[in-house]
Amino acid sequence: MAKVYDVIIIGSGPSGYTAAIYAARANLSVLMFQGYETGGQLMQTTDVENYPGFEEGILGPDMMEKFEAQARRFGTEMLTEDVTAVDFNQRPFTLTANSGEYRTRAVIISTGASAQWLGLLNATDEQRQQWELIGRGAGIHWETVDEDISVAGLLGLPND
C-alpha cells in the first residue's frame, strides 16, 4: 500500500518552507513539491535587509537555501516537480505528479505570487526596467477590486 503523508505542501517559497518546518517539527510526515523553479520570488531578490537575525542582510537565494536546509533537517521530503492534479473528493487526498500519485491527510497550497507589470501610464519598456517591485519600501502595488475596477499605487525612487 502506498505511503500516506500527514501533509503535502505544494510550493517552495518562504511560506511553503515555513509550513514544512513547523509540520516536520511536530513529527508529521511531510512531502514538499518544490516545483521546477524552487524558492519563490526570493530567488530574484538581492539584499533582504528586513528579516530578523541577519543584521548585515542576506541574499534572497542564500536565505532560501537556509530555509530548505532547515526543512530537510527536520525530515521534510522534497520533490523537484510540479503537481498536475489534486483529488479532494475522498480522503486521503490524492495528488498527481509526473513521478506518480501521492496520498495525504492534508494539503497546503503555497504557490505564491508572480510579478505582473502594470499596463498604465503609457510606460515604455525602459521606464518599466527602472521600477522596483515592493520589497525595499518603494515600488508598485496593485489591487483588483472586481473584474472592472483595479487600484494601483506607484511610488517613485529619487534619482541618485
What gap in Å lies between CA 48 and CA 141, rounded to an integer? 19
pLDDT digits (tens, 9 = 90+) for 23-46: 999 999 999 999 877 777 777 777
* Domain boundaries of the chain, sorted by first residue: 4-109, 115-160
Confidence (pLDDT) at 71: 97
Burial of 2 (0-12, 13-18, 19+ CB in 10 A): exposed
CB atoms under 10 Å from CB of 120, counted, come to 11
| Average pLDDT rounded to a whole number, residues 51-71 | 90
Going by C-alpha positions, the residue among 4, 11, 3, 2 that lies closest to residue 80 is: 11
**pLDDT value of residue 42:** 75
Cα-Cα-Cα-Cα dihedral sign, residues 115, 117, 118, 121: positive
pLDDT at 41: 74
CATH superfamily of 4-109: FAD/NAD(P)-binding domain (3.50.50.60)
pLDDT of 50: 83
pLDDT digits (tens, 9 = 90+) for 101-124: 999 999 999 887 766 655 555 666
CA distance 148 to 11: 30
Q: How many CB atoms lie within 10 A of CB 149?
A: 8
pLDDT of residue 18: 92
Tens of pLDDT, residues 63-100 = 899 999 999 999 999 999 999 999 999 999 999 999 99
Rounded distance between C-alpha atoms, residue 160 and residue 149, angstroms: 35
Confidence of residue 138 (pLDDT cuts 50, 70, 90): very low
| Higher pLDDT pick, 129 / 60 | 60
